[in-house]
């Protein structure tokens, strides 16, 4: 892993990696790390059995982590009703 992340960022990367419909490209867009670097983060942060379970799920037909597996009609990383990414900061009211 080339970049250093704080605990909250690592937690968010792991959360996004576990989500079936979040592609690796969205993680790369938000955190600037490639698929192989996400795999490295998961390998170092998860228990070995959890990592194997995650890899099996990512490589199965259920997951849409790779753009090739996604429906070609989906051309976005987020819901059309979702606000723009604000680096997970809460706006002041």
Q: Evaluate whether 32 touches 23 at the Cβ level (below 8 Å).
A: no
Question: How many structural domains does the chain have?
Answer: 1
pLDDT category, 78, cuts 50, 70, 90?
Answer: low
Residues 63, 57 contacting (CB under 8 angstroms): yes
The DSSP element (H or E) to which 56 belongs, if any, is: helix 48-58
pLDDT at 34: 92
pLDDT tens digits along 14-70: 999 998 878 888 889 889 999 999 999 999 999 999 999 999 988 876 666 666 655
Q: Cα(80)–Cα(19) distance, rounded to whole angstroms?
A: 18
pLDDT of 1 higher than 50: no
Ranges 4-13, 25-34, 69-78: which has the least confidence: 69-78
pLDDT of residue 26: 86
Domain that holds residue 36: 7-69
């Amino acid at each position: 892993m080339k970049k250093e992340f704080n605990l909250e960022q690592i937690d968010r990367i792991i959360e996004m990696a576990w989500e079936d419909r979040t592609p690796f490209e969205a993680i790369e867009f938000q955190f600037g790390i490639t698929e192989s670097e996400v795999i490295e983060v998961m390998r170092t942060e998860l228990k070995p059995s959890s990592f194997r379970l995650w890899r099996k799920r990512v490589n199965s037909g259920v997951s849409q982590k790779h753009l090739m597996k996604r429906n070609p009609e989906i051309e976005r990383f987020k819901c059309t009703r979702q606000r723009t990414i604000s680096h997970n900061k809460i706006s002041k009211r």
